[in-house]
Chains A and B, each alone.
Chain A
Amino acid sequence: MKLTVMLFLLSLMQLRAEVFAQRLTLHVENKSLKDVMKEINQKTGYDFFYKNSLLKNTTPISISVENTNLKSILDVILSNQSIDYKIDDSTVILLPREKNHEEQTRTISGVVLNPAGEPIAGATIRTVGKSEIQTQSDAEGKFQFTIDSDVKELLITSIGFKENRYTIGSSNNLKIQLTVAINDLDEIVVVGFGTQKKVNLTGAVSSINFEKEAESRPITSISNVLAGLAPGLQAMQGSGMPNSDNSTLRIRGTGTLNTSTPLVLVDGMEQSFNDINPADVESISVLKDAASASIYGNRAANGVILITTKKGKNGRMDLSYRSLYSVNTPSNLIELVDNSAAYMELMNESSTNVGQAYIFNEETINKWREAEKDPNGLSETGYPNYVAYPNTDWYKEVFQQKLMNDQTLTARGATDKVNYSLSGTYLNNPGLIDGAGMKKYYLRSNLSFSINDWLTVGNRTYGYQSDVGRNSTSTALSDLGFTKVVPSIYPFYDGKYGAPEPKEEDPQSHNTLWDIQSTGGSYTYSQINTSMFADINLFKDLVYHANFDWTRYWQEDLYFDKSLGKYSFSQDQMIIAPMSSQELSSAFYTMGNKRWRVEQTLNYRKSFDIHDIGVLLGHEEMRKTQYNIDAQKTGLIDQSITDLSTATEMKSITGTNTEFASRSFFGRLNYGYNSKYLLEVNLRYDGSSRFSPETRWGWFPSVSAGWRISQESFLKDVELINELKIRGSWGKLGNNSIGNYDWQNTYSKAGYAFGNNVANGLAMTSIANRNLMWESTAISNIGFDALLFDSRLNAIIDLYNKTTDGILFRPNIYATMGNKTAPFQNIAEVSNKGVEVALSWNDIAGDFRYNIGTNFSYNLNRVSKYKGLLERGWIEDSNGQSVYTSNIGDVSTGGTNRILEGHTINEFYMLDVYKGSGNYFNADGSVNINGGPKDGMIRTPGDMEWISKMIEEGYTFYPNQQLSKTNIWYGDYIYKDINGDGVYGNSGDNDFQMLSPEPKYNFGLQAGMSWKNFDFSMNWAASMGFGIYWYRVGQNSSATVFGYAIPKSIAEDHYFYDPENPSDPRTNLNSMNPRLTRNGGSSQSEAVSTLHLENGDFLKLKNVTIGYKIPNSITQKAKIRDIRIFFSGENLLNFNNFKGMDPEMRTGVGYVTTRQYAFGLNVNF
C-alpha cells in the first residue's frame, strides 16, 4: 500500500522536470531590457514579473546566442544591470540586486520535537525579520532551508503547541523543542467560504473536533455523535434502523413551522449526514447566528453545519488503518405479555369487561398451562410443546444482539506541490434484526496540485453505496409487526413459519419474522459527487476561486414477494397457504437526482499596518432535478425468478419529475483594527425557483462586530486574562423549504373510466398562492469569549434572539373547501430566545493531561404571531342566553399539537383528567361537581354513585356519555370540564399543557484525561423540558384488540372490579391503569388526554472511550509509527422516567436505538 502511494506521488512530480530544460536562440542589438524580455517571453512563454521602477536605470542590451539555456542568457543580460532574478515555475521575477548571495546566506537545518522528544511533523518554521522565509518539518520533524545570515530569530508554530521564538546562535543544526499549548489562540475555524482565526470571529460559531470523536466511536451516522457536543445544537435520534438512524438536529430551537433542519455543507456542497463517511471528517463548524450563516442566505435560516473533510498534512505521509468491531444491543425494549395462557385470560377479561362474550375457552387456556409444565415434551403432533403451544416474546425474538464492523484505510500526505487524502471505508451495520442490516462502502479522494505559484487546481471525488436489507419494511417493524402479535405463535421452526395456534385466536395475527421475511429484494442507495476547483492568485492578495460540482444520486429498490405459508404446529398443517406464484409481485423503484452547482469567489486579504481588510465577492447557482419511476408486475413464473421482464402481468408504472434551481450573489467585508476591533458585513442576494418571478429574489444582510478587550493596553498585561472578547451580531436569513411548485395553481390527475376504458381526468387538488415569498429569520446575538488562567479556562457565553417571520405555512382551511391541500401562506412568526454557555478547563501536569467541558443551552420557543390570541369564554348571545364561545378554530391550527400565538410550537393541547375532592355531595345532599374521584378514575361504588347522580342532573361525560360496561364503567377515566358547560371532556375542554415535543434545555458534558499511553474520555448529554404523547394499542394501552399484543406493564397492573363479584381475585382498585377493555367495547379512557402525556427528560451517558497506545519501543520494531487499541461504549446509561423505549425517539416504539460496545485499533504506518 505504502509503495503504491509513493509511486503515485512520484509520477506527479515528473510534471516539473521539463521546466528547466528550456533553450533558446536570441539575437538583439541595442534594445531596451523591456523589449528583450518581451522577446524572451514570446520565445519561451516565460513571464517576467517586476516593478516598473526597477527598470528605470537599465542600459540597452546587445546579445547574440544560439540554443542557449535561459538561465545563462539571463545571467548575461542582467550582469550589467543592478538587477537580480529568480525563476519560479515559468515566471522570471526581477529583484533589485542588493548583496552578493553566496556570502549573505546560511543554510540552517534542524529538528522539531515535542516535549517527549518525539518529532513533530508539519511544524512551520518561519524567519523573523523583514523578508519572511518559511519551511515545514517533515515526517521525522526535520527541516532545512537557506536564510539571510542576518536573521537572528525563528518562529516555530505547530497546531497544539505553543508558538516558540527561537534565537539562532552560531550553530547551523538546531534542536527545537515545543511545549504543549492548552488552548490555542491561533486555532483556525472553518467559516462560510473560508476560514477564520478563532480569536477574530465575530459570529456565534461552535467548532467540533470531530476527528477525535471519529477515532474511536462506533459511528453509523455523524449526526448521532453530535449530541451534547456543542451548545445550541440539539441532536435526537429517532430510530436505530440502519440507514435511517440519523438524529434530528436543531440549532437554537425550532425556528419555523416547516423544515427546521440545518443546512449541512460538506466542503461547500449540500449533503445529508448519510452521505458522508465519518472517517473523512476533519472538523465540524456549527454556524448559529445570522452573521456567520448569512453568507449562505437562502438556506441558512435553520443554521448551518459545515463539514470539512481531511486533507493531507504538510510534511507527513500517513497511512493509517482503523478497525472497529461493535456489539450492538437494543437499548431498551417494550415488554409484552409472553405467556399465552396469561394473554388469553387477559383477552377474556377485556371482553367480559365490556359485556362481550369471552374469546378463549377454558379448555384452550388449560392446554397451554399443561404444555408449559413440560416445554420439551412432545405434543400430540410430535412437535415439542414449546413449539406447538408457544409463548413467544416478539421483541426479544426480533431484536437481537449483532456484531457491527467498520474498517477504514486512509492515506494522506502533502508536499509543497501536492496534497492528497485517500480513504476507503467498509461499514457492516447489521442493525438488530436479521436481514435488515446495511453494508456501506465509501471511497474518497481529495487532491490538489499547486501548478505554479499562482494556480492551484484540485478535485474532490467521493461516493458511496449502501446495500440495505429489504426486510426492514416499516410496517413489519413499527406498525403491525409489534402490535398485531400474540404470544401463541411460534416464530420459525423446522423451516416453517408459525401461525396462531389457538383456534379462537385471530388467524391474521402477525408473525413478525414472517412479515420480515415475506418480501425479498434490496434497497441500494448510491451517490457520486465530484468537484473540480481552481484557486488563482490574481495579484498578491487577491485570489479567484472557482468550483464546479456535480452530484448524482440513485435509490434503487428491488422488491418481490416470497411465497411463505404459515403453519400450525399443534394442528400439524399449513394453515395459511403460500401465495400462488401468479399473485406474487415484483417491483422496481428508482429515485434519482442530478445536481450541479457552481461557485466562484474573489477573495482579497490585506494588512496595512494595523488594519486588516478582507473582501469576498461570490456567485453561486445550482439546479437539481429529481425523478422517480416505479414499476410493478405480478405473476412470477416461479417464486425464484423475480426479474420484472419475467413477470407476466403488468400492474402499474408511475413516474414523476421535479426541478429546483437557485441563483445567488454574495459579498463579505472584514475589517480589523489593530486586532482589537473587528467588523464583518455580509450581504447575499438570492433567487429561488420555488417562488413566482415577482417574488423570488430576497436580500439577506448581516453585520457583526467584536472587541477584543484583552488586546487593550489596560488588560494586555493582566496575567489572568489570556483572551477576552465581546461579540455582537445581527442579520437576516432566508428559508424556502416548501414544495417546488407550491406557488403555481395546479390541476393534478383525477381519472375515471367510461365504457370500461381509462378516462383521464384533472382536478384542482391543491390551492396555490402566487404571492409566496421568502420567509426570513432575523437573529441578534451577543457573545462573550474568555480564555483565563493561563489559557486553561475557556468560557463562551451567547445570548440570542431569533425571530422568523413570514413563515411559510399551511393554516387550516375550511373543511367546506373539500379535500384540497390548503395553500401555503407567509403567515406566522416564531421567536426563539435563548442562552448558551460553554465552559471548559484544560490542564497538564507532567504526563497527566485532563480536560472537562460542559455546555448548557436554554431555548424559549414561542409562536409570536399567528392569527391572533385565543379568546374563549361565556358571552351573552342576542337572545340573552349565555353561550360558550371560543375562537380556537380561527386562531389556531393543529390537533393534539397546536400552533397558537403566544405558545410553543406544537404545544400539546388535550383534555385534562378530572380531579375532584372525593366528597361527592354537598351538605344539602346535592351533587358536588367538584366532588368526584380524586384522580379522575371511577374506582369505587361511591365514585359510581356520584357520576350517575351527575348524569341524572344533566351533566354529560364525553366521549362515552352513558354508564354501562360498554361505555363508562368502573376503571374508566373521566375528564375535566374546563369551560364549565356541564359536558366533561368535549372539544371545549381541551387545554394547552405548557409542554411541547421540543426540549427547552439541552446539556452536554465531556471529560477526558490521558496519562502516559492511556487515554479516557466520556460524553454525557441531556435534554429536558419536553413531553411525549404516547399511546398505542398493544404497547401501553389498557384497551385491547383481538389479535393484538398486551403490554406487560398493563397486564401486571391494571384496575379490576366486578360489582357483581367484589371478591374476584383479580380485583385491583388502586392501579393508575384503566380497566382492560376490548376495542369496540369502551374507549372512555382512550381519549387524547394528559393520561398519556409523559415527561421526556433524560440524561444519557452517550459515550465512554478508553484507549491505550502501545509503546513506540515495541511498535518501532514492526516499523509502525503507532498503534492504539481502544474500547468505546455508546448509550451506556439512560436516566429517564419515560415508559416507552427511548425518550430520544420521541415516541414509545419503533426500531429501537442501540447500545454499543466497541473494540478496535488505530494503526499508523
Chain B
Amino acid sequence: MKNLNKSIVILLVSLSLTGCKSNLLDTLPSNEVSSESIWENANLATLAVTGVYNQLRANYTTNSASYPTWDLRSSLMDFDANWIGNLPQLRGTATPESADFLNYWKQLYEPIHRANDVIANIGRVPDMPDNKKSQYLAEVKFLRAYFYFKLNALWKGVPIYTEPVEASEANKPRSSEEDVWKLIISDLSDAIEESNLPDKYETGSSDFGRISKGAVFAFRGQVYLWTKEYQKAIDDFEKVKTLGYSLHPQYRALFKEATERNDEVILSIQFIEEAGSGNSFSWAFGNRGSAGAGWNNYIPNINFVDSYEQANGKAFNWDDFLPGYSSMTPRQRSVFFFRDNMTNAEIQTLTSYGADMTKYLPIGNEARIKAAYANRDPRMNMNIITPYSTYLGGLTGKDITYTLRWPYRGSDNAEPYDLRTDTNSKFYYLIRKFVFEGREHIYQSYSPIDLPIIRYAGVLLSLAEAYNEVGNTAESVKNVNLVRSRVGAQLLNSNSYTNIVNQNDLRERIRNEKYWELPFEEHMYFEELRWGTWKDKKFKAGNGLTEIWGTSTYTYSWIGEHNWIWPIPSSEIEMNRDLNQNPGWIN
C-alpha cells in the first residue's frame, strides 16, 4: 500500500472505464432485415415474395372469433350461440363501426401492399436471374388480384393501390367496381402471358403450392363469372382442362395430409404441422373427442344437411323415413333422435321437455333414425357427423371410436363412448371434413391439412355453370357428372329424379352441387353473394342455429338491402373523408 501512487491509480481507473467501444450506440436488430438490404440480394428478395404468400394463411392460423371462416357467413353453417355476437351482419346489428368490417379491410389490404412492394422492387435485385424475376412477378400479381377480388366482392369498388405508398398517402378515394375488376383481369392476364410461370406443379414438387398457370386460368374464369362474361369463363376453364389436372378417385383423401398434394388440387393454402404454420380447422370444427379437443363452434346448418339427396338422386324428405315428421313440432319429433334403452330419468326429463314419447322405441329408435342418414349422397357422411354415426377420436391419447348419441351420457374414455361436444346440452350436426381422425395429428392449433382454394372439381362445376348460362346444357351436364361420378352419386339425366327440366333447374342443381362438393372450403359465401341467393338462404324465416329436430337456438335478422354490400369501416371514413359510404349504411 505504501507504493500507492495517486496518478497511477487514477490512470488505471479511468483507463478501465473508458476502454469502451466507439460505436457503442450503433445497434442492429438480429431478428429482422432492414429495408435497405432486402432488395440487394436474391435470397432476401425471394423471402419477400414468400411474405406475400404468407397472407393466404392470415385467416386461419388462430381460432379467433375476430376472423371466423367465410363459410360461416354462408348458409352452410352456424356459430355456437355464445359467439354469435361477433357476426353483426347476421344478427341484424351491423353498423359501419362493427369491428368485423375494419378487421377484414385491413387484412385484405395487407397483402396488396406486400405485393406492390415486390412488384416495384424485384426488378432491381442484382443477383436474381430474369426468369425468376418474371415468374415471381407473375405469382405476386396473381396474389394481388386474389385479394382485390375479395375486397371487390365484399365492398364493390375500393381504392386501388398498385405501387408502394407512404403511410400518410394511403387516402385515395374508391375506384369503381368495374375498375377493380379491370385491374384484377389485367393482373391475371399478365400472369397468363408470363412464359416462366409453369402450367402445373407436379405433386412431388418442392414448389407445390406456388401459383401455376392452371391456378391463374381457373381464377380468371371465376372472375369472369362475376362479370358475367360466360364465354370468356368457359375459355379459361377449358384451358385448365388441358393442363393435366384430374379428379382424385377418393373424395375423403383430398382432406388428408398424406394425399393432399394431388392432381386435383390447383391451388391450396399450404399448412404444415408447425406452430404458426398450420390451420385451426380441427380446433374450430372438431369436437371434444378430437385429438387436441376441438370446440365445435362451427355447426353445420340443418337445411344444408337436409339438402343432400338420397343416393338415387331423389330430394330428401323426412316424411319418407319418419311419417308425420314434418307435421310434428320440433320438440315432439326430437323423440326420433333419442338413443335406445334410455333410463327412466332420461325418459322423465325428455317427456317434460315435450318429446312425443309414444313414438319412442326402446330398441330400434337408433336404427330408425340411422336409416334416414343411410343411402344419401355419399359426400354427406364424408363431410358431416350425423346422429349415430361413428367418429374416430383421439383425445385420450389413443384411437377411440365415439358415436354421436342423444341424450349424452358422458365420459371420454369409458363406455358407451358417446361423442362429447361443447354443446352437449343441444343436439347438432358436427363437421367431419378437416377434422382429425384418431391420432393422425394432435395439435389442434396447427393442423397440416391444406385448404384447397382452387380444386379441379370446383373448376368443373364453375365450367358447368358457365355452359348452362350460355345455354349449352349437354356440356354443362357432362361436367357436373364428372364430379358426381367420382363419388358415385347418381348421374344427372340418368333417372327420373335427375332429369334436367330446364336451364333454371340445371342452375339450381349446379348450385347445390357446389354446396355438396365444396362445403367448408371457403367458397360458398362468395358464391351466394354472386348468385344473389345469400338473403334467401341465410335469412330464410326461422333460419339460424337449430337443433337437428328443428328447435331454434337463435335466428338471424336481416337489417335491409344494404346488408348485401359491406360498409366502409367508419373509423377509416373518419380519417379519409374522400371514401364514400355504401348506400344504406349510416356512419
Contacts and interface: CB of A to CB of B under 8 A. Distances in A.
Given A452-B1, A889-B575, A546 B13 contact: yes
Contacts of B577: 885, 887, 889
Nearest to B20: A621
Contacts of B205: 755
Interface stretch (B302-310, B364-372, B384-392, B395-403): B395-403
B50 interface: yes
Contacts of B270: 752-754, 756
B574 to A, nearest CB: 2
Contact of A762 (B51, B396, B414, B555): B51
A452 B4 contact: yes
B554 A814 contact: no
A956 interface: yes
A754 B210 contact: yes
A505 B82 CA distance: 13
B157 to A, nearest CB: 14
B557 A967 contact: yes
A187 B191 CA distance: 81
B348 interface: yes
A819 B106 contact: yes
A1139 interface: no
Contact of A967 (B13, B35, B82, B93): B93
Contacts of A981: 586
Contacts of A568: 410
A768 interface: yes
B573 A889 contact: yes
Given A583-B292, A889-B574, A548 B559 contact: no
Interface string A949-976: 0000000101111101011000000000
Contacts of B33: 746-748, 762
Interface in B18-40: 18, 20, 24-36, 38
B84 interface: yes
Interface in B263-315: 270-272, 274-277, 288, 291-292, 295
Interface residues of A, number: 131
Interface in B78-108: 81-85, 88, 91-93, 95-97, 102, 105-107
B553 interface: yes
A582 B557 CA distance: 45
A691 to B, nearest CB: 9
Name, among A44, A538, A756, A967, the residue most crowded by chain B CB atoms within 10 Å (CB to CB): A756
A250 B126 CA distance: 53
Contacts of B431: none
Interface in B405-463: 407-408, 410-414, 420-422, 424-425, 439, 442-443, 448
A1080 B82 contact: yes
Given A740-B29, A762-B51, A577 B110 contact: no
A571 B410 contact: yes
B493 interface: no
A747 B47 CA distance: 10
Contacts of B44: 747, 762
Contact of A656 (B31, B54, B559): B31
**Of A740, A759, A823, most B-chain CB atoms within 10 Å:** A759
A751 B93 CA distance: 37
Residue from B16, B20, B56, B210 with most neighbouring chain A CB atoms (10 Å): B20
Nearest to B206: A755
B17 A598 contact: yes
B141 interface: no
Nearest to B19: A598
Given A575-B410, A818-B112, A818-B113, A889 B571 contact: yes
A693 B26 contact: yes
A747 B92 contact: no
B421 to A, nearest CB: 8
A767 interface: yes
A621 B24 contact: yes
A598 B571 CA distance: 49
B327 interface: no
A760 interface: yes
Nearest to B556: A966
Contacts of A503: 349, 407-408, 424-425
Interface in A750-791: 750-764, 767-768
Given A503-B407, A661-B24, A752 B85 contact: no
B344 to A, nearest CB: 12
B2 A90 contact: yes
B114 interface: yes
Nearest to A632: B275
Contact of B208 (A451, A506, A756, A1043): A756
A689 B410 contact: no
A105 interface: no
Contacts of B35: 744-747, 764, 768
Interface string B35-64: 110100000100111111111110000000
Contact of B14 (A546, A817, A818): A546
B109 interface: yes
Contacts of A619: 18
A508 B261 CA distance: 36
Nearest to A357: B551
28 contacts: A18-B2, A19-B2, A357-B553, A364-B349, A451-B1, A505-B425, A507-B288, A534-B13, A544-B14, A568-B410, A575-B411, A577-B395, A577-B396, A658-B29, A661-B24, A696-B25, A744-B35, A752-B56, A753-B271, A756-B208, A758-B272, A758-B274, A762-B48, A764-B117, A814-B170, A820-B167, A890-B575, A960-B93
